[in-house]
Amino acid sequence: MYGPPVDLSFKGITHVTGALSEVPHSGLRPLSTNSEKKYLSRSVRLSNNNITDLVGLQFMLSGFLAQPAQLGWLDLSFNKITLVDSILCELQELRVLYLHGNSIWNLTEIDKLGQLRHLHTITLHGNYIESSNSYRNHVILHLPHLKKMDFSLVTRDERVMAHFSCHRSKPVQKAN
């Protein structure tokens, strides 16, 4: 059984490893620990901090969680992240990823997350990429397992449209 999220939001953290010197917020449900004083949780909240990159994320997760490889939910919303670090792709059990309210400016950064087979929910609104005309189609096309994006269900019609718009935008080659 897993407990509530390890909540490190609103701590003024600038580097992910800086979280290790913080005590998680206590919520309505208390956090349980194992004999090594590591939390029995599959969720981490690092929202509303000043994090710019994810260097040291695995180290930080190993310091807090009893089973860091089982992380299923990660909230990095409202930080200052500009790139999707490949370290996220090592979180193979990740199902929910909140990245809204950051500073991601290149839409192709999201493509890296296509490796995460279990990722079914993502938030990206409030990033610079949202202003791209193909924003939603691009994300849906490159993250094929998504069920929800930006707190909205991904429909079958949107999948078809994303596939169609991708192929439509490629130049047509003449047959000789």
- The answer to whether position 75 is within a domain reads yes
Q: Is residue 142 part of a domain?
A: yes
For tokens 């991708």, what's the residue? 166
DSSP bridge pairs for 75: 45, 98
Model confidence pLDDT, tens digit, residues 81-101? 999 999 999 999 999 999 999
Q: How far apart are CA 19 and CA 12, in angstroms?
A: 9
Has residue 96 been placed in a domain?
A: yes
Range of the structural domain that residue 141 is part of: 6-169
- Residues in the chain, pLDDT under 50: 170-174
Q: Is 163 among the domain residues? A: yes
* Within-domain flag for 58: yes
**Quick one: CA dihedral 86, 67, 8, 139, positive or negative?**
positive
Q: Is there a domain that residue 176 lies in?
A: no
Domain count, the chain: 1
57 domain-assigned: yes
Helix (H, G, I), strand (E, B) or coil at 3: strand
Whole-number pLDDT of residue 131:
96
Could you give phi then psi for residue 29, rounded to 5 degrees?
A: -100, 125
| Reported pTM | 0.92
